[in-house]
């Protein structure tokens, strides 16, 4: 990996500055500490190869490709504000490096302060853990993944970039009890519900930021009448991630008979996925239209012990729907 650093350090630095300028121009990285992390952590070390779709099939781009033109494409792609497919299995995507601007948004939503301890669910390439380690220090960061090949690869990438956080192979839905308690939990994989182990392993006031359905939920952990509670709202942005491995697949809502204008609307599909199994699709459509096609940030989630529910506007109702088993 040292040869890769020497070969690409200078062009990568310029590409990295360009990526950061693009994210800033789009309204991101307003926190100087996160901007410094994105400016200084070399993303190309975490994606020595990745896959792009070309002519309907995956094409592999590689840092050691003998063709200089393809190497240049690889480096440009490594610093594009785009998600990168990094691991395929039987033609299916199982790991990726998320879109940098979306990573910046989620990291900012964590509201970290010095001394915070962070649990990351889904090690991926290790890039997100490196950004966290740059901000908080290696000892403050724990990243967990179910796949030993992914954790080993992330560990190698992190070491090449000079970071050594705790990289744990295990079921992310169970958290990481031996490294608890945590002040923040961030997931880089899509959930259908929030594992109950995460709030249980958090200190009071901790933040949980995770993809749920096709949005990003931001929860604050505290105590309620029934014990540990995590509650919060979705960010307005849409988000699509690789599902949490080992979790039950999301229930698919039926859309037969619904008008195309609704089926093709991203916000309606979000409502459908959030209420699948709880609302008939026609009931969901009636609600969506009656409530003036609500944006994601009008929705929220409450997790209380083994029970959790999604809601519109108010966690006490009148629009409340149970989410799936929280596991863990």
Catalytic residue among 95, 101, 273, 304: 95
Distance of alpha carbon 115 from alpha carbon 153, whole angstroms: 27
Nearest to 122 by CA among 101, 146, 140, 106: 146
The DSSP secondary-structure symbol of 190 reads B
Q: If residue 61 lies in a helix (H) or strand (E), which one and from where to where? A: strand 57-62
Nearest to 196 by CA among 325, 326, 324: 326
Q: Contact at 8 Å (CB) between 179 and 142?
A: yes
> HSE of 41 in the Cβ direction (CA atoms, 13 Å)?
26
H helical segments located in the chain: 2-25, 32-40, 68-78, 100-109, 127-136, 148-160, 197-200, 260-263, 266-275, 281-290
Distance of alpha carbon 145 from alpha carbon 211, whole angstroms: 16
Distance of alpha carbon 295 from alpha carbon 305, whole angstroms: 28
Distance of alpha carbon 16 from alpha carbon 294, whole angstroms: 36
The DSSP secondary-structure symbol of 167 reads E
Nearest to 179 by CA among 203, 155, 209: 203
Q: Is 18 a catalytic residue?
A: no
Q: Which residues are designated catalytic?
A: 95
């Amino acid at each position: 990996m040292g040869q890769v650093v020497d070969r690409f350090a200078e062009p990568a630095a310029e590409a990295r500055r360009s990526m950061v300028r693009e994210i800033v121009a789009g309204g991101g990285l307003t926190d100087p500490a996160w901007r410094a992390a994105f400016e200084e952590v070399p993303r190309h070390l975490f994606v020595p190869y990745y896959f792009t779709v070309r002519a309907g099939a995956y094409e592999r781009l590689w840092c050691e490709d003998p063709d200089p033109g393809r190497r240049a494409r690889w480096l440009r792609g490594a610093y594009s504000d785009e998600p990168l497919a990094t691991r395929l299995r039987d033609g299916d995507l199982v790991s990726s490096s998320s879109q940098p601007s979306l990573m910046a948004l989620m990291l900012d939503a964590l509201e970290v302060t010095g001394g915070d301890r962070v649990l990351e669910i889904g090690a991926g390439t290790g890039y997100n853990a490196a950004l966290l380690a740059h901000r908080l220090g290696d000892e403050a960061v724990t990243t967990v993944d179910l796949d030993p090949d992914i954790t080993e690869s992330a560990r190698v990438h992190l070491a090449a970039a000079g970071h050594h956080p705790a990289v744990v192979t295990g079921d992310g839905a169970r958290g990481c009890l031996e490294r608890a308690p945590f002040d923040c939990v961030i997931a880089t994989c899509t959930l259908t519900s929030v594992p109950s182990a995460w709030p249980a392993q958090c200190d009071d006031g901790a933040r949980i930021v995770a993809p749920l359905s096709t949005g990003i939920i931001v929860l604050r952990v505290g105590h309620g009448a029934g014990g540990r509670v995590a509650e919060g709202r979705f960010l307005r942005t849409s988000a699509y991630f690789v599902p949490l491995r080992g979790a039950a697949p999301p229930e698919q809502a039926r859309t037969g008979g619904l008008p195309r204008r609704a089926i093709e609307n991203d916000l309606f599909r979000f409502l459908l996925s959030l209420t699948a199994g709880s609302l008939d699709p026609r009931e969901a459509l009636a609600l969506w239209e009656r409530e003036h096609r609500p944006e994601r940030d009008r929705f929220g989630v409450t997790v209380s012990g083994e029970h959790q529910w999604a809601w519109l506007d108010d966690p006490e109702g009148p629009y409340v729907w149970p989410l799936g088993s929280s596991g863990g």
